[in-house]
Every structure is written in structure tokens, then in C-alpha cells.
Amino acid sequence: MKPGAPPYEVGMVDVRDVAEAHVRAAVSPKANGRYIVFNAACSILGLAEYLRDRFADHPLPKRELPKWVVWLLGPIFDKTITRLFASRNLGIPWRADNSRVVKELGLNYRALKGPAEEMFQQVIDVGLVSK
């Protein structure tokens, strides 16, 4: 993604926060129903910004590609990016409400930068990314 990142957002959370939410939901008398556990919506470009300081020697994207470019060229370069996926998912803000987890379970989320750096370092260590 050195030329740019697709305009795609997901809800991000440290897996340790997910585990903590599960434990709290299991033991809390306030727990009721289902919970959406995520810290923040983050784009691929936003994730690259978290990583840029520590992994400056890796080709991280510095800009976001227009949706139409990814729609047109994405399937040519990556078979997992279909035009249907691009049409339905790119450029659309990811929105959800995690307030019940905070209110009812008292969960305080970790900052995303540290876990993002740990994840990327692990990806490097297992050889999925190279310079």
C-alpha cells in the first residue's frame, strides 16, 4: 500500500480489552445482553499513522486513494478486493456505539498505538512483511 491506502475503516480494539470485557460480562450483575467492544473506528491510513514513528523504514501509506481508483484497479492487483466490496464498503464511515461496555462493565480501553505497534512487529517477526 505504499502508493496509498483504500478509504476503509474498521472498529479497532486491543484483544486484551476484549478478554477483559468477556470476564467482566461473565461476573458483573449489571451485564445484560450483547456488547459491542471496540475502542475507536480507524482507517488503514490511521493505522499507518500509528506505526509511522516506530517503523519509518517500512513503506507505509501516506495518503488515501480515491474510492474510484480502488474500485477500478483493486481487483486487478488484489483478487480479494472485488468491485462489489469496494462499492459497499469503501469511503463509508464505520460507526457503532460502545457506550454500554463503558457504562455497564466499567471498561477503560487501552490506547491503540501500542497494540498496533506490537501487532505490526509480530507480523514482521513471522515474515509476513519485509522492508
CATH for 56: 3.40.50.720
Task: Give the pLDDT band (50/70/90) at residue 130.
Answer: confident
Can you give the length of the chain in residues? 131
Q: Does residue 24 sit within a domain?
A: yes
At 27 the pLDDT is: 95
Q: Does residue 76 sit within a domain?
A: yes
The reply to whether the predicted model has a pTM over 0.85 is no
Contact 102, 6 (CB under 8 A): no
Q: Across the chain, what does the average pLDDT equal? A: 93
pLDDT in tens, 29-68: 989 999 999 999 999 999 999 999 999 999 899 999 999 9
Mean pLDDT of 66-86: 93
Contact 4, 64 (CB under 8 A): yes
pLDDT in tens, 106-123: 999 999 999 999 999 999
At 124 the pLDDT is: 93
Q: Does residue 2 sit within a domain?
A: no
Can you tell me the distance from the alpha carbon of 95 to that of 30, in angstroms, rounded to the nearest whole number? 25
**Domain containing 85: what range?**
9-125
Does residue 129 register a pLDDT over 90?
A: no
Q: Does residue 130 sit within a domain?
A: no
